[in-house]
Chain A
Amino acid sequence: MRLFQILTRQVATGKVKVTQKPLQRLRRETGLKHHPKPHGRKHHGFFRLFCTAFVAAVTLSICPVRALAATPTPARQTASTTSGYSAAALFNQANAYARAGKPGLAILDYSRAQLLAPSDADIAANLHFVRAEAGLPDAVKNWLARGLTYAHPNTLAWVGCFGLLLAGISTLLVRLYPQRRLAFRSLTFVGALLIATVISNAIVMWPRVHEAVVINREAPALTTPVLAAEPLFKLREGETVTVRAELQDFALVQTSAARSGWVARADLFRVVPQFSAK
């Protein structure tokens, strides 16, 4: 009887394979309830569906990058043409502007170069030097902001993508292999940490993509976006402002001292071109 019970339990848990007919008879006789296995035929269908969706999502993520990478970018292109930006070329161009006595354009190109190479000491030093020469203070950043913006944003974006894959896959594996729960939970935590880092970096970077640099010697900030409006204050060449809104030929800007006014768009260049404020 003991052997029968063991055999019955093994058959019920699927450890011993028997055909369906004697199995049904056995269940009827013993009154055992049938518990469907989690790895049934429907599971195979789910995995097929999930794998298809996963591959599609990963392909969707990677294909544009491959397409961008496949686009030929000739080395002769200038620092800031529509065909591409290079940190070194922007840095060199900024140096040329600085030597030519154009601090506004120099600071603009240093800022752009810094977006592509945030940890480059030369860019930071020259930006600091040109700002000091123009009598402009450096932007104050706390240690967290400095740390979060230390890496290249695009690199961080891919790190976040990896973190999402890690967290998602490990979360699913926890369900499938509960006996390795701890290991998979750890991977999920690491993935979530990476995602959180990228989101924090994006939050810190969001104001920077709305920044603009004054390129003319003096740019009056007006009360309203019309030329005849009364000037509130004047912006200096090289001053970095945040663009809050744009209306026709004017942009509503905010200085580091939290002063706001409408400035002619011809007096400004955005640090990130072709990115309009809402």
Chain B
Amino acid sequence: MKTNLSLSRPMAAAIAAVIVFTSAAFAAPPAVTTQLEPGEIALGQSAQLTITTSGSGDDPVSPPAVPGLEFVSVGQSSQMESINGVTSSTTSESYEVIPQRAGKFTIPALSRGSQALVLFVRPIGAAPGNNSGASSLPPPVASGLSAGQTSLTQDGAAFVRMRLPKRELYVGETVPVDIQVGVRAGLAASINGLPTLNGDAFMLNKLSSQPEQAQEIIDGQPYSVVTWHSALAVVKPGEFSLSVETPLTVRMRAAPRRRMSVPNGMFNDPMLGDVFNDPFFQDFFGGTTEKEITVASQAESLKVLPLPAEGRPAAFDGAVGNFGVFSELSSAQSAAGDPLTLRLKVTGTGNFDRVNSSMLGTMDGWKTYPPTAKFEPADSAGYSGEKDFEQAVIPNQPGKQTVPALAFSYFNPDTRRYETKLTEPLSVEVSAASAGGLTASAPVSSPGSTPISEPPRDGLRPDHAVTGSTVATLLPLYFRPWFVASQSALALCFAGGLIFLRRLERRANDADGFRQREAWSAIASAVTEMDAAATAGDTARFFQSARVALQQKLAEQWHVAAASITIAEIDARLNGEVADMRRIFALADQAAYSGQQFSAGDFQQWNEIVRGQLEHVEVL
């Protein structure tokens, strides 16, 4: 029995093998079905391709190679069924389809029974449903700008490019500039801020928050390119290096999202192997990471020339570019005192911020009002457009009146010289003032765009005619320092004059007292001089000062002039009573010519004598 059992097992195995091999030989070829979800995505998104293989056969079916599409395996699942002894297995392989550019892609059929799949990839920002493919993408901007130098980052993921029309500019000139930021297709990236200039000699106009988007192939790699159209203003002359930089956040895959191959035998449990092959698990361990980078363009060398001084018109106000001017009047017929609107249009390209209304001034025979200005840009950069000036003018006299030609001067960087454009003179037939004509009060509003003909609102009195007389400041004159200073100086002059006159009056009313004070002052001065001469040992000066002091004293006493006091006068008046005084006068004459020198003791003695004589005079 035992032997039978031992023989029956190999026999059963052989029979089973025969059955299996026979069934395999007669089995149908494996069926392959493919499914793509969704059928339309935007660039930067991904679709999922599921390839299901049913029937016998263990070889997985790989997706075909499609240019512009990248297939990344994200998982596999298997199912085996045995019904009434018939065994069937189904294997599903999932792939993430990552487009590398926008357009229409066809995934060919994987087997005879399957169908080809179509994937529409629309550009970034394009509305869903536009399946025209890559042809709908805007072509690279065709402008007069240079191609610009493309400087990719080290990994070739992104670039910033600046496109300028020329490399030689003039101060004040405004040129169009395109700033392009490119990110390699399939790379998830976001721009964290607007591009900024690296150069203090230039100013960039405000960049739009909705730039243009396009596709571009660089070195065989597709790039999504974002373009800002702006204008670059030059501030100062010199040779400068200019570049642009942009901050980017790039989402990068930390590890390749290939199928994590779990070796056979590593996990004997088939369920565990399925867990590791799950897409979620793969994302968890091999997810993406964000990296902030700053991408800069290649530095451009620019030469900025100063505006030439030669040939500069007097009316030049800094406008640089290429402009045309045109003027018109609101009507060819009017009445004296009725307002008309003079419109001046400046069109072209250049720095419109320096185009002002200086050409609209006063005109003979016309009353003019402050003009208003309005700029209509023709492009997003504000580089070209039309600037309109409106000025209210009123003819003063009836008859045929003419608005003279208006001149506008600017510097043309193309011709490299100053140019002046003139408008045509405008004629208007002016009739006599109508009964209701506004001669003294014209309804003209300065700010805003209030029409001239607008009637004044109820309750608000109408506008006044501007006469042209202006003041520099609203501060009243008497609060201004120069006025206060001048009036104070004037008041001080009068006060000084008044004090002087009062002093003269006092002097006239008290002549004796005044003369006495003058004499005392002269005596004190002479005595001081005498002391100084004694100290210096100057005999001549000592006695001359002594004589002067005595002369002043006697003159004050006798009410005569000091110069008239001589020895003879003293003798005549005093009859020789004062011998010392005579000696002093005599010594003064002698010392002046003899050069006689006195000792310090002599000076002391004579000093006491002179002072004694001065006191003695008072009792005479």
> Which of A's residues lie within 8 Å of B, judged by CB?
24, 28, 33-38, 42-43, 46, 50, 53-54, 56-58, 60-61, 64, 68, 71, 73-79, 83-89, 91-93, 95-100, 112, 115-116, 122, 125-126, 129-130, 133, 153-154, 156-158, 160-161, 164-165, 167-169, 171-172, 175-176, 198, 201-202, 205-206, 209, 271-275
CB atoms of A157 and B478 under 8 A apart:
yes
Report if A85-B470 is in contact (Cβ < 8 Å); known contacts: A38-B505, A93-B445.
Answer: yes
- Residues of A near B444 (CB, < 8 A) are 92
Chain A binder among B49-57, B164-172, B429-437, B459-467: B459-467
**Contacts of B420-471 to chain A: CB distance below 8 A:** 444-448, 450, 456-457, 459-471
**Contacts of B319-367 to chain A: CB distance below 8 A:** 357, 360-362
A202 to B477, CA, bound (A): 10
Chain A binder among B271-279, B496-504, B592-600: B496-504
Given contacts A88-B467, A97-B447, A158-B477, 16 further A-B pairs with CB under 8 A are A33-B511, A34-B559, A36-B508, A43-B504, A64-B483, A84-B472, A86-B468, A86-B471, A92-B446, A95-B461, A96-B448, A98-B457, A172-B494, A175-B502, A205-B476, A206-B479
- Residues of A near B561 (CB, < 8 A) are 24
Nearest chain B residue, comparing its CB with the CB of A275: B475
Determine which of B448, B462, B474 lies in contact with A272 in the assembled complex, contact meaning CB atoms within 8 Å: B474
Chain A binder among B38-46, B125-133, B484-492: B484-492
Does B203 touch A at the CB level, under 8 Å?
Answer: no
CB atoms of A172 and B361 under 8 A apart:
no
- Residue from B456, B468, B477, B560 with most neighbouring chain A CB atoms (10 Å): B477
CB atoms of A271 and B474 under 8 A apart:
yes
A35 to B510, CA, bound (A): 9
- Residues of B near A36 (CB, < 8 A) are 507-508, 511
A91 to B444, CA, bound (A): 11
A61 to B480, CA, bound (A): 12
Determine which of B460, B504, B511 lies in contact with A126 in the assembled complex, contact meaning CB atoms within 8 Å: B460
A36 to B503, CA, bound (A): 13
Report if A92-B501 is in contact (Cβ < 8 Å); known contacts: A116-B474, A154-B477.
Answer: no
CB atoms of B486 and A99 under 8 A apart:
no
CB atoms of A122 and B498 under 8 A apart:
no
CB atoms of B477 and A153 under 8 A apart:
yes
Does B182 touch A at the CB level, under 8 Å?
Answer: no
Nearest chain B residue, comparing its CB with the CB of A75: B468
In the assembled complex, 21 residue pairs joining A and B whose CB atoms fall closer than 8 Å, in A order, are: A38-B504, A46-B497, A50-B493, A50-B497, A54-B490, A54-B497, A64-B483, A84-B471, A84-B472, A86-B466, A92-B446, A95-B461, A98-B460, A100-B450, A133-B459, A154-B477, A156-B478, A164-B490, A169-B494, A171-B498, A172-B494
Nearest chain A residue, comparing its CB with the CB of B444: A92
A108 to B464, CA, bound (A): 17
Determine which of B370, B467, B475, B479 lies in contact with A78 in the assembled complex, contact meaning CB atoms within 8 Å: B370
Tell me, rounded to whole Å, the shortest Cβ–Cβ distance linking A173 to chain B: 10
For the complex of A and B, 9 pairs with smallest distance between CB atoms: A84-B470, A168-B494, A153-B476, A157-B477, A96-B445, A88-B464, A61-B486, A57-B490, A175-B501
Nearest chain B residue, comparing its CB with the CB of A39: B504
Tell me, rounded to whole Å, the shortest Cβ–Cβ distance linking A212 to chain B: 13
Tell me, rounded to whole Å, the shortest Cβ–Cβ distance linking B314 to chain A: 14
Does B482 touch A at the CB level, under 8 Å?
Answer: yes
- Residues of A near B512 (CB, < 8 A) are 33
- Residues of B near A161 (CB, < 8 A) are 487, 490
A96 to B483, CA, bound (A): 35
CB atoms of A61 and B490 under 8 A apart:
yes
- Residues of A near B490 (CB, < 8 A) are 54, 57-58, 61, 161, 164-165, 168
Does B473 touch A at the CB level, under 8 Å?
Answer: yes
- Residues of B near A24 (CB, < 8 A) are 560-561
CB atoms of B371 and A76 under 8 A apart:
yes
Report if A76-B445 is in contact (Cβ < 8 Å); known contacts: A84-B471, A84-B472.
Answer: no
Does B368 touch A at the CB level, under 8 Å?
Answer: yes
Determine which of B370, B465, B482, B494 lies in contact with A76 in the assembled complex, contact meaning CB atoms within 8 Å: B370
Determine which of A38, A201, A273 lies in contact with B474 in the assembled complex, contact meaning CB atoms within 8 Å: A273
Task: Kindly state the interface size class of chain B when it binds its partner.
Answer: 35 or more
- Residue from B357, B462, B494, B504 with most neighbouring chain A CB atoms (10 Å): B494
A253 to B486, CA, bound (A): 33
Determine which of A61, A95, A116 lies in contact with B463 in the assembled complex, contact meaning CB atoms within 8 Å: A95
Q: Count of A-B contacts with CB under 8 A?
A: 205
CB atoms of A116 and B471 under 8 A apart:
yes
- Residues of B near A76 (CB, < 8 A) are 357, 360-362, 368-371, 391
Nearest chain B residue, comparing its CB with the CB of A133: B459
A31 to B80, CA, bound (A): 162
Tell me, rounded to whole Å, the shortest Cβ–Cβ distance linking B362 to chain A: 5
Tell me, rounded to whole Å, the shortest Cβ–Cβ distance linking A39 to chain B: 9
Report if A172-B450 is in contact (Cβ < 8 Å); known contacts: A91-B463, A92-B463, A153-B477.
Answer: no
Tell me, rounded to whole Å, the shortest Cβ–Cβ distance linking B479 to chain A: 6
Tell me, rounded to whole Å, the shortest Cβ–Cβ distance linking B256 to chain A: 53
CB atoms of B447 and A93 under 8 A apart:
yes
CB atoms of B471 and A209 under 8 A apart:
no
Nearest chain B residue, comparing its CB with the CB of A63: B486
Tell me, rounded to whole Å, the shortest Cβ–Cβ distance linking B340 to chain A: 16
Determine which of A43, A83, A273 lies in contact with B470 in the assembled complex, contact meaning CB atoms within 8 Å: A83
CB atoms of B474 and A54 under 8 A apart:
no
Nearest chain A residue, comparing its CB with the CB of B482: A64
Nearest chain A residue, comparing its CB with the CB of B493: A53
CB atoms of B496 and A53 under 8 A apart:
yes
Tell me, rounded to whole Å, the shortest Cβ–Cβ distance linking B405 to chain A: 17
A57 to B497, CA, bound (A): 13
Tell me, rounded to whole Å, the shortest Cβ–Cβ distance linking A162 to chain B: 11
- Residues of A near B445 (CB, < 8 A) are 92-93, 95-96, 99
Tell me, rounded to whole Å, the shortest Cβ–Cβ distance linking B298 to chain A: 43
Tell me, rounded to whole Å, the shortest Cβ–Cβ distance linking A60 to chain B: 4
- Residue from A36, A92, A97, A122 with most neighbouring chain B CB atoms (10 Å): A92
Tell me, rounded to whole Å, the shortest Cβ–Cβ distance linking A274 to chain B: 7
A36 to B505, CA, bound (A): 10
- Residues of B near A78 (CB, < 8 A) are 370, 446-447
CB atoms of B362 and A35 under 8 A apart:
no
- Residues of A near B370 (CB, < 8 A) are 76-79, 89
A125 to B418, CA, bound (A): 51
Determine which of A68, A74, A112 lies in contact with B362 in the assembled complex, contact meaning CB atoms within 8 Å: A74
A97 to B469, CA, bound (A): 22
Tell me, rounded to whole Å, the shortest Cβ–Cβ distance linking B563 to chain A: 11
CB atoms of B474 and A115 under 8 A apart:
yes
